Every structure is written in structure tokens, then in C-alpha cells.
């Protein structure tokens, strides 16, 4: 049960930043969510439909939009946040890179809640990521998130 609760709490926190207006009011806010904010990346695409009435990030179709908004899309807001890669599956990591960008993910360890993946980032290393994606995820994004230069 705990694994679901942790994920749901991250998803609620990220969704609250979007829906509550904090992401709009603080465009330079750097926030990182554990476990890739659970279902938020998946639901952001669904929320985009309600926001703009279109699928697959196609141009808005306001005749179909349930709750149209002129501001950034839910997915654009989601792409402002950072996420750890502790999702336990290379297919999910690939999805996150494709949807959010390799500039949004950081290596996660889940320590001390549970034992670390041995070797650290073993799953990421097994993916044969292009050098730029690996460098972003392995260290550049952590520096960006902290507001530091490498």
C-alpha cells in the first residue's frame, strides 16, 4: 500500500501546483518529484485534452475542450518540473524522456526507504541512452535544479 500512497502524494502535489496556480505564478520555481510524480505525466496528456480539446499535442480544438484555458497547457507545466528516475522500469523511463524530456529527469535512489539499485542507476545505464541524455539525467539536471553551474 505504501508504494501507492507515496506515488499518489507526489501526483497530488504536482497537480496542485498546476491547478492551484502556483506553477503559473512562479514560472522559475524548481521542484522535483520522487517516483516521477506517479501518474502525473500520464494524466497530463489527458488533462491537455480537457484544456485544449486535442490529442497528441495537436493544435487546440476549443469546440471539444471541456475546460479551455489560454495559459500554458498542463503538459507544458509538467515539463517545468523535475522528476527522479526511480520508476523501476526502463520502458517507463523511456516514456518519461519522450514525454517530458531528458532535461527533466534525475537519478533517484529511494534510499533510505529501501535498498538502492546496485549498481546505482543500473537501469539507466542499461538503456544505452545517447550521451546528451545520459549526461542530463546523471548530473546536469541536478546542477540545474539546484541553480548551480557544473
Q: In the block, which residue shows the cell 507545466? A: 77
Residue 51 is predicted with a pLDDT of 92
Mean pLDDT calculated for residue range 107-134: 84
CATH no. for residue 8?
3.20.20.140
Cβ neighbour number for residue 8 with a 10 Å cutoff: 13
Quote the pTM value.
Answer: 0.90
Residue 6 is predicted with a pLDDT of 79
Closest among 60, 63, 77 to 19, alpha carbons compared: 77
Closest among 65, 60, 70, 57 to 98, alpha carbons compared: 57
Which residues, listed in sequence order, are joined to residue 82 by a DSSP beta bridge? 32
* Structural domain harbouring 29: 2-146
Q: What percent of the chain has pLDDT over 70?
A: 99
Number of domains in the chain: 1
Residue 26 is predicted with a pLDDT of 97
Give residue-wise pLDDT tens across range 11-64: 999 999 999 999 999 999 999 998 889 889 889 989 999 999 999 999 999 999
Amino acid at each position: 500500500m505504501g508504494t501507492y500512497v507515496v506515488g499518489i502524494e507526489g501526483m497530488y502535489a504536482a497537480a496542485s501546483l498546476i491547478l492551484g496556480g502556483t506553477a503559473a505564478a512562479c514560472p522559475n520555481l524548481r521542484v522535483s518529484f520522487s517516483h516521477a510524480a506517479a501518474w502525473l505525466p500520464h494524466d497530463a496528456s489527458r488533462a491537455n485534452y480537457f484544456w485544449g480539446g486535442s490529442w497528441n499535442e495537436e493544435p487546440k480544438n476549443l469546440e471539444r475542450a471541456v475546460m479551455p484555458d489560454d495559459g500554458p497547457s498542463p503538459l507544458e507545466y509538467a515539463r517545468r518540473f523535475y522528476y527522479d528516475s526511480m520508476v523501476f522500469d526502463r520502458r517507463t523511463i523511456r516514456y518519461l524522456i519522450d514525454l517530458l524530456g531528458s532535461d527533466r529527469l534525475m537519478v533517484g535512489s529511494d534510499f533510505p526507504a529501501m535498498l538502492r539499485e546496485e549498481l546505482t542507476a543500473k537501469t539507466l545505464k542499461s538503456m544505452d541512452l545517447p550521451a546528451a541524455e545520459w549526461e542530463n539525467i546523471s548530473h546536469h539536471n541536478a546542477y540545474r535544479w539546484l541553480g548551480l553551474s557544473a
